[in-house]
Structure 1
């Protein structure tokens, strides 16, 4: 039993409302599922009554929670939980993509004690249909509560709460650091928590005989790499080639960037398995991408947005690479939490330009330990790189052929050991010039990147 489970389960079973904060991968899912299943076993519900409702901010997280809950219910000989998520397709028979009518029919035929879903689909069913009886609901769980309460779900949640009994147990679960905990405290009353017990499971390290709190698991090693903007993609490609046999998750800033970089890297790195994932993909494609990434025994790379930053549990993720820093610095902790889960070791890498290097100090102030990428990594920049002072991008000097001024300049991308890595920028340019689809995707990626970069919460650094 993990510390968060040991602290939460007895209180939840004793009919206490709880607000739980713990680092990613610490076992929060079982911390609320075990009391929920115990409550269902104690009290017999009628066929059309629901005993527990678990809300998740994304479909992927809801599906993951459903899989864990289903296994637990089978072991306890309970009915399988009902999964209620959007992204429906009338021709699909999958529980995760079927229409509302199929969900209602499944509930009427079988009856389900536990409901797991996203706010939009749950509200749709509770407000428009009178099939599910929530009058005897025992537990309401808000998983990744800070996202549910801050990303436009406020009105939807209020609509759901009006249809639930006030005499219930409510649990808020989050991995958000304590520095951003104020928003959760504001919502405890509105979410129906009465005198909640606050559980904060902190991670501490012993350095020089002093105990220091940190926001990430101790088994996770965080690195950063500083390089010119126009070298980032080449260094990422070199990194993915060197780690092609490991599971790697790469975070980009926008959905359009995922589409463009994903297509380009598939062409330029044919030996590396790359799967895209973002919120604008149709649900079936999102599921297929996650399924292929999970089942790839020889490694693989998941190129994604922050849709995969919260709660997703993929076993044996070796590296989390943040090609673009998140708009909200709080999401750094959630992104890197995809690795080093359940006590396993893992690594993370953050790409920054020289103008963004102050972000490292900001993260350290937020109790995130970082260190430079080891020189043993081939993508690590050359220490004594000569930088042109007048170049806004901070690019390395380029070799020019004075005998032919019209010939394109050749850029040297040097490694820390003095060797060079391939500059893939010209190849990307060729793809854009020769394929209209690449051109359109590249245009959308550039536009969306500029807009997202402009909206960074840390605008004093990212400007």
Structure 2
């Protein structure tokens, strides 16, 4: 059930019914005027309604749930009874550690007085706090070990909520929804949220307010379900068709001419990341490179994340889709999708790492000949993408450098073979057979793309 309510639309944070300390902190951080999604979602959230919020990446969704959560936590801080002070009143859930660190820093910059517990995996001893920030799995472990008490929880916020409700998190989320108090407010935000998200019913929303700015055109498909279209005006979108399957050479050629820019490169598997990172470091050692993937050691992963974030104007980050959601990397000039995304939602989340707030950005999608049909998917979602070419002579020179490197370096050859096999496995298990039909890929040419000799491996 969806509920229509009336509330006054205000343009500035100072006109909201929030504490003076929050208003002053927002002003110092440069937040004075509200964005469109903030105008329509913060007032009902402050009134205590459950909110489903959706807007394009970089539109200021984080403040939409952070402000109501802070206000509840501030009220808790004013309670003098020591027994009550130790009870958590607010909780923010997120799918990745990196996003959690970013939200934690954001909240502390706005209101340093709030006692916050950041849960990223390790079980910590009991400590007094009024707000908890956690991944779903870590929160469940803390509750199971009784190191947290959420019996008095008043507000639960979810960032990148559709990811939290996907198959990887759904069992843990179901358990959390059963354990947490039923009388709670829920704020549910994502860039690709829409009314047909089948798992929304699992979180027991009560008369939710649906706030969305993703609608360029809203229409019914054959199954009578709504479809919502992203509007992205500040990102120039390009595609490169690699008819010769030399994506890696295309990429390195591009990096060689953009050494002083800040770039994020999305690929499908961690072994591809290791390969590209190694080859780039050896062929172009002057390029500042970092890498992030899911199974990486937590300390190293966070270190690499912070290293890239703090580089203001240059650096290359190789990543899986782990960093495609919610993270706010400032001054990223290019997003490169070396592998075709699984679906249109993944495409939007990836390119959303550039063009944040008032910034502009550019993105390149590399496609093999078999993957060209993804252009049709983009067209159906009103994405205007321009096909460009990269200088062929430069690609041939770079491809030769890769092949020479592998002949001289046996370790690189092993890394390249592992990357090739992991990519083949990724393609084989994709459900979208229109773009990822395994048998139609030219695997001999793809092996050469990694610098391998297909004859040596009987391809």
TM-score of the superposition, structure 2-length normalised?
A: 0.81
Structure 2 residue aligned with 1:198: 210
Whole-angstrom CA distance in 1 between matches of 2:244 and 2:137: 39
Offset of residue 452 of structure 1: 0.9
1:197-234 CA-to-partner distances (Å, cap 9, x unmatched) read: 111113659xxxxxxx8514211111111123442222
- Give yes or no for the alignment of 1:4 onto 2:64: no
4+ long deviations beyond 4 Å: none
| 1:222 paired residue number | 237
Q: Report the alpha carbon displacement of residue 421 of structure 1 after superposing the two structures with TM.
A: 4.3
Gaps of 5+ in 1: 87-98, 206-212, 374-379, 383-412, 415-419
Matched, 1:278 2:278: no
Residues 143-152 or 9-18, more deviating:
143-152
Residue 125 in structure 1 maps to residue 99 in structure 2 = no
TM-score after normalising by structure 1: 0.80
Determine which of 58, 75, 82 is the counterpart of 1:42: 75
Count the aligned residue pairs: 389
Counterpart-to-counterpart distance in 2, 1:34 and 1:352: 41
C-alpha displacement at 1:48, in angstroms?
A: 2.0
Question: What whole-Å deviation, never above 9, does each CA across 1:28-64 have from its counterpart, x for those lacking one?
Answer: 1111000111122234462321111111111111111
Which of the residues 104, 114, 126 maps onto 1:66? 104
> Is the aligned partner of 1:82 residue 2:98?
no
Aligned pair partner of 1:321 in 313, 326, 336: 336
Q: Secondary structure at the match of 1:425?
A: helix
Question: Partner residue of 2:250?
Answer: 235
Are residue 140 (structure 1) and residue 156 (structure 2) matched?
A: yes
Shift of residue 433, structure 1, vs aligned partner? 3.5
Partner of 1:365: 380
RMSD between superposed Cα atoms in Å: 1.9
Q: 1:209: which partner in 2? A: none
1:349-388 residue pairs with structure 2 within 5 A? 349-373=364-388, 380-381=389-390
CA distance in 2 between counterparts of 1:362 and 1:127 reads 44
> What is the distance in 2 between the residues matched to 1:227 and 1:264?
20
Alpha-carbon deviations, 1:254-290, whole Å to 9, x = none? Answer: 1110011111111111121111111121111111211
> Which structure 2 residues correspond to residues 446-461 of structure 1 after superposition, within 5 A?
446-461=420-435
Q: How far off is 1:112 after superposition?
A: 1.2
